[in-house]
Amino acid sequence: MADYGGSHIIGRVIVLLILIVVLAGGGILWFDYLNVIDAKAVLGPALDALRGVPLVNRILPQGGGRTQGAAPDDDILNIDAERFAVRLEALELRNRELERQEQDMQNRRGEIEQMAQELEERQKAQDERENSFNARVSDAETKDSSVETNARRLTGMPPERAVGILVAMDDQDIIDVFRKTDQIAEAEGTSSIVSYWLSLMPPERAAELNRKMTGRPQSLY
């Protein structure tokens, strides 16, 4: 009975040891699958020795070693290089687009500045024409007022004295006074004294004045 009990205990111990080894090996393989450790480097010789055991051979993966390896360094570098090249190309395209937009803005700014300069020059020319026109109008109004004053003053004088003043004036000034006198007389409904003044002037001067008044526009101021 004693021998039978000792053999039985030894057999159980051996089975337990084998079970412990199998469980430990399975745990190591599981950690290897999770990429926690590299079972091939640690247990390579032992695994090769145990492959002849049927139970262990069923547990161990064929070929041994790590079941899930990382991507090769060259592949990782190639992927990073491709990503970098794509990003670099996108940045280059973006820079070209920004440069094109900046050039368009500069061209547009140049066109606007040119248009503004042309408008400014046109405005200056318009201002000069307006000032010139206003100056002519002002001169005409001043002259008209002066001619009207002279015409009324001469009309109020004795005809002989008025003719003496008239003959000393230029022909155009005399014509302006004659026409203004006719306008005043027509506006006031009275007779013009211009014909009488002409009759008191030397015949040659009177004829010349009549010729000029007939051949020139009615208003010179």
Q: Is residue 66 part of a domain?
A: no
The model's pLDDT over 70-111, given as tens digits with 9 standing for 90+, comes to 445 666 778 888 888 888 889 999 999 999 999 999 999 989
Q: Which CATH number covers residue 192?
A: 1.25.60.10
Q: Is residue 133 part of a domain?
A: no
Neighbours of 16 (CB within 10 A): 10
Q: Which residues constitute the domain of residue 48?
A: 2-59
**Is residue 206 within 8 Å of residue 166, measured between CB atoms?**
no
**What value does the mean pLDDT of the chain take?**
80
Q: Which of 10, 37, 59 is the last residue of a domain?
A: 59
Q: Is residue 69 part of a domain?
A: no
- CA 29 from chain center: how many Å? 68
Number of domains in the chain: 2
Its pTM surpasses 0.75: no
